[in-house]
Structure 1
C-alpha cells in the first residue's frame, strides 16, 4: 500500500505562470511596543481588476498559540501600519471612500471602523507617532504656490454642494493637465519610476492625534523646493530628524546628511547634524536619547562599497562605524530597549539575516539566520522580533522570535504549495579563473530522472551590486516555473555581487562585462559537468544590469540556443543622458562624464559588439522605464534587424523598471509565458552549436 504522503505527492501538478494570481505575499511586519501583537500587510492579486489589494492583518500573541485575523478589509490599498506607543491604536495609510488621494487613518486594537485624521489635498503618507503618543508626524507633497497659500492662511472653504465639489475637482484636474502640456522642466532628475516629477516636494507635518469625533490641524515643519522622506522623533518629542541633500537642485539623491527640526517651533528651518564625506539615511534615535544610529555610504567610488551602521552622539560629535568587521550591506536597523545594542539586517553568502551589535564595539552576532531571506523586521520593548522571511520552499511568511524560540505566524500559500511541485535549490560553488570562490545554485527540473539530460535556463541578477540566494522572493515563481517546464535552473553571484564584502563587490568598477562573463560561463560549465544538462539546449536571461550582461555574453559567446534580455542598458554613453541615475555611470565606470571617455564607455557597451550576436534574442522592455529607458532596447533591436538577425522586441505599455516584480498582474503573467515559450522554441529541440 502506498503511504499517504506518496499519494499526496502523486497528485501534485506543475506550477504555472497563472499561479501568480493565487500567490499571497506579506510585508511590513510591525510588532506592538509590548510585543503582544504583530500587524502586517497581506498582498493579494485581483485577476479580474488586474490589480493588487493590500489589507492589514493582525497576529495576537497573548494566548498559548498565536491567533491571526484580518484587521482591515475591502477593495482597498491599506498599508504602513504603525503602533501608538501604548499599543492600543494603529495608524495606517489608505485610499478609501472614493478619496482621490491616500490619507492617514486610525483604528483601535479592538477593531471597529477606521477614521481618517488627514484630508491633505495631495494625500498623506508615512505616519510616525510621537514618543508620548499625543502627536503624529507624516509626509505630504506641495508645490511653492500651495506652500505659500498654506503659510498665508488661505484655505478654500469646503464645497456647499456635490455640484460645487465636482466643479472644483474638474478645475484642479484641468490645471494639472496644463502643467504637463508642455512640461517646463527644471528639476534634476526630472523623472523616475514610471512618471515625470511634477513641481511638488515631500514635506514634514506634525499634528495632534485627535480623539474620536475630534479633528486636528496639521502644521508643516519644512519648506523649500526639496524633498524630506524620513521622519524620526527624538525620545523627548522636542525634535524630528530627517535627511536632506546639501545640493538639492543638482544632486538631490546624494550629499545627504542628517538634519534636525524643532517639533514645536514656528520657523520652518532645520539644523545640520552631520557633515562628512558620507551619504546618510535611515535614522534611529536611541530610547535613552543619547545616540543617533544611521546607515551611511561613501559619497564617491563604486556603489559596491558596503553600507555601514554608524552611531553618533545626539548632542553632536563624530560618528563611529559599528559594522566594519561585518563588511556587508546593512539594510535596516532597530535599537534594543536598553539602548546598548542594535539589531540590523544584512545579506551574507546568499542569505539575508538579522544580527545584533553592541554600541561598545565587537563583532556583530547573528540572531536570525538559516537558508532564507529576511525582507523586513521590527523589535518590541521586550525584544521580541517580528520579521518577514522567504525560504526556498516558501515565498514569504511572518515569523516571531521570542524567548530564543521562533514561530511562523502565517501560512497563506498552503493550498497552492500543497497542489504544486516545488523544486529544491542545491548549492553549486566553483572557482573562478583567478581563484575567487563563486557561489551558485541549481534547481533540477520537476520530474527529474537520473541519466536523462535537460535544457538549462541560466538566470543572472541585475544591480550589478545585488545578491541572490536560494530563497530569493522576487524570483521564486519564475524559477519554479522554469523548473516546472522541464528546465534545470542555474544562477550565481558573480564578482560585483553584494554579500561577500566590499572588495568583491567593487572589483568590477570600470569593467562590467569581461570577468563577470567568465564567472557566469564557468558556473555554466560546472553545472554541465554534473551530467544532467544538455549543453546544446541552454537559454540565457537577466534584467537591468543582467540585461546588459545578456547582450554582452551573446555578443562574445555563441553557446546559448537563445537569450531573453530584460529592461537592459546596451549603450553606456546614451544611457547616461536618459536614465534617472546618471551619476551611477560616473561612479561605476570611474568617469566624470561618458562624453569625456568615449572610447572607454563605448568599449563597455554591448551595442559595440552587436555584429557578433548570432544567438536568437528576445528583447523585453517597458515603455515607462525611466531607470533603463526603452530607447536602449530600441537601439539594440534596430541594429539586429538591420543585420538580419533573429530578434523579437516585446514592449509593455504603462510599465516601468519594476514590472517583473510589481507590474500589472496580467503583464507579469504574459511575460512569464512568453519567456518560457521563447526558451521552448529553441531548447526543446536538438541544436548544433555554431
Structure 2
C-alpha cells in the first residue's frame, strides 16, 4: 500500500541544479535536500562516473562551482579564522580546489571580495563578479583596512539603512542601496576593476578559444532603468567596447556564434512592454550588420512552469551554439518547457525535446545535450538528450517517490474564452475518490502572471488531495507559453484574466459533478495573491480564501517594492500621479468594503517583491469591515517562502492554509 503525502513531503526530494561539463567531458552538478533538523538545506557536489552519480563532497555547503581544466573550484570557508573574519562584515571568498579521485579539496585562493561568479581563462587569469558595497569599503579605508576598529564601525552602522537610490532593496538579496555586482579581472595575483562603482553586471560569457567576454550590464547612479548594455571585454588588453544592438534596448538572451557574431534575442519594449518576447537576430557587432532570423515573438526563452519541488540556480543561462548552424534554448510552450533549436540558415525553430513537463536547464555534451528535467509525477533527474529528442535518465534520485507515495494525477480540462482562445486547466481528484460523493475543492492561481501551470508534481496540491480536497488550476490570459498577444495584460487586471478563471471554475463544476459548489476555496501567491484579494472583494462564491505574498494596492506597491517604479507601472499601464483612477481601479483594496469571504493572509517580512504592506492593508480593511481574517507573517523569509523558505516555515505556511480551508470547507 502506498504512503500518504504528508505536509513535509518536500523534504524527501533531492533537487538537482548547476550541471556543468569540463573540457575533458566530465559531468558535475549540485544536489540539494531539505534538512528538517537544521531547518535548512544541504547542498553537495556530484560527479557522473561510469554512468552513475557519485558524491564528491559531504560538507553540505556547496552552492556553486566552476570547472578549471580537470579540477573543480568552489567557494567554501573551511577554517574558523576565515569564518570569524567574514562574520565581522569584511568581504571574503575562499576558493577550494578539488581534483576528482585525488583526495580532499585544498585551498586554492583567497579573495577579499564577496564573489558571485568566476569566469576562467587559466588558473592565474580570470574574471570574477563580486558584490561591491561602498559603505564597507569606506569604513575599512577610514579605519586602516580590516581592523578591529573597522569591524566596530561596520557593526555600529548595521543599526541603520540609508537609502538614496532606486531600487534600495531587492527580493532575495536584501538592502542593495549603492551596491553593484561589479566585474573584476584577476591576473597573476593582481585585481583590477573592469567596470566602475555604478555598473552592475548580470551576465558574462567567454568567447571560446579567446580571452574575450560578452558582458551584459547596467550603469546607474540614482535610478536603475530597464534597458541594459552589451559590451565586449578583451582581457588581454583590459579594454571594453560598447557593442549594444541599439540604445534603450533590452538584450534578453544570446549565444556566441564566433568572435564577431552573436545570435541575439532582444526588444525595444514598445508594443508589449518590459515582458515582451523579443525577435531573433544574427548580429555582427564588428560591422553592425543585423540579420532578422525570427519575428514571431512567440519565445520568452525561459522555463516558467511552476513547481514547489525545485531548488537551485541553473548553471547555464546563455544559449548554446552548436558550432555549425543551430542555436538551442529553453522555451515554455503551452503548459511545458522544452529545448528548442533555431536553424540560422533556414530561419526555422523546431523542438529538440518533445515530452511534456519541465526542462530546468541544459548544457551541450559531445554531439547532444545534458538536461535536468521533471517528467510525469517524478522530481528532477539528469537526462541525456539526443538531437532527435530521445531522453535517457542518468540519475534516479527521486524515482522511488512516485512509486511509494499516493499521487493523484492531474486531468485536463479545456474551454474557449470570450476571445475564442483555448484556455487549459486541470483538476486533481481527492485521494480515495468515490463516485457519487461531493468534495471540497481548492482553486489555485499561479503567480506571474507570465508563468504557467503544467502537470508536473506540485507538493501543496498533492498534499491537499491526500487531505481529501479536489484541486483545480488553469492558465488564464496573461500566462506564458502562447506569445505576446496572449500574455498581454497591461492595464487589464481584473478583466479578461478574472473572467477566464471564473469561467474555468464554472466549467469544472459542470464537468466534475463531484466538486461541491458550496465548499469552494481559493488560494494563490504573488499575482495569484492579487487575484485572491480581488475575489475577496468582488465575489462570494468562495467560502474561504488564502492570499499569499499578495498585491492589494498598486499605488503603495509602486512606491515601496523593488520593481514598483518600472515593473508595476508597466503591469497596470498607469502610475499614481498621471492615471490615479486607472491604477486604483485595478487595486483589490478599492473593493475591500464589499468583502465577505473569510480570508487568510500569508506574508514574509523580507519579501520586497510583494511587500508585507500589501497583505497588511487588505487584512486591515477586512478586519475593519468585520470579515473573518487572519494574518501570518514569516520572519526572515522573502517572496520564495513556498519554494525555498526554511523547511519549518514551509510546513507552517502549508498548515496555516490547510487549517483555514478545513475550518470553512470541512466544518
Work out whether the TM-score is over 0.5.
yes
Find the residue that maps to 2:65 and give its secondary structure.
strand
Structure 2, unaligned runs of 5 or more: 87-91, 303-316
Equivalent residue number for residue 640 of structure 2:
658
Superimposed CA distance per residue, residues 162-215 of structure 1 (whole angstroms, 9 cap, x where no aligned partner)? xxxxxx57544432233344333222100012511154322222335xxxxxx8
- Please provide the CA RMSD for this pair: 2.6
Contact 2:162-2:177 within 8 A present in 1 as well? no
Contact 1:127-1:136 within 8 A present in 2 as well? yes
Contact 1:104-1:124 within 8 A present in 2 as well? no
Contact 1:139-1:229 within 8 A present in 2 as well? no
Aligned-partner Cα distance in 2 for 1:537–1:603: 29
Equivalent residue number for residue 280 of structure 1:
251
Residue 465 (structure 1) aligned with residue 450 (structure 2): yes
Equivalent residue number for residue 586 of structure 1:
569
Contact 2:478-2:486 within 8 A present in 1 as well? yes
Residue 13 (structure 1) aligned with residue 3 (structure 2): yes
The counterpart of 2:266, out of the listed 296, 311, 314, is 296
Superimposed CA distance per residue, residues 133-153 of structure 1 (whole angstroms, 9 cap, x where no aligned partner)? 763321112345877999x9x
Equivalent residue number for residue 57 of structure 1:
46
Equivalent residue number for residue 362 of structure 1:
347
Superimposed CA distance per residue, residues 291-319 of structure 1 (whole angstroms, 9 cap, x where no aligned partner)? 22344233444344214444311424144
Aligned-partner Cα distance in 1 for 2:377–2:19: 20
The counterpart of 1:453, out of the listed 438, 442, 446, is 438
Equivalent residue number for residue 396 of structure 1:
380
Equivalent residue number for residue 306 of structure 1:
277
Call closer, same or farther: CA 1:321–1:25 in 2, change over 3 Å: farther
Superimposed CA distance per residue, residues 74-111 of structure 1 (whole angstroms, 9 cap, x where no aligned partner)? 131x1333334x5x222333344343354433322334
Equivalent residue number for residue 597 of structure 1:
579
CA shift for structure 1 position 389: 1.1
Find the residue that maps to 2:538 and give its secondary structure.
coil
Equivalent residue number for residue 666 of structure 2:
684
Find the residue that maps to 1:112 and give its secondary structure.
coil
Pairwise mapping of residues 170-569 of structure 1 onto structure 2 (< 5 A)? 170-194=148-172, 195-207=174-186, 216-245=189-218, 248-252=220-224, 254-265=226-237, 270-286=241-257, 288-300=258-270, 301-325=272-296, 327-331=298-302, 332-380=317-365, 382-402=366-386, 404=388, 405-471=390-456, 476-506=458-488, 508-529=489-510, 530-569=512-551
Aligned-partner Cα distance in 2 for 1:489–1:102: 46
Equivalent residue number for residue 610 of structure 2:
628
Equivalent residue number for residue 21 of structure 2:
31
Contact 1:27-1:41 within 8 A present in 2 as well? yes
Find the residue that maps to 1:177 and give its secondary structure.
helix
Superimposed CA distance per residue, residues 415-437 of structure 1 (whole angstroms, 9 cap, x where no aligned partner)? 43333101111111111133221
Aligned-partner Cα distance in 2 for 1:321–1:421: 50
Aligned-partner Cα distance in 2 for 1:403–1:328: 20
Call closer, same or farther: CA 1:444–1:74 in 2, change over 3 Å: same
TM-score, normalised to structure 1, is: 0.87
Residue 639 (structure 1) aligned with residue 621 (structure 2): yes
Find the residue that maps to 1:374 and give its secondary structure.
strand
Aligned-partner Cα distance in 2 for 1:355–1:571: 39
Please list every run of at least 4 consecutive aligned residues from structure 1 whose deviation after the TM superposition is greater than 6 angstroms.
145-150, 154-157
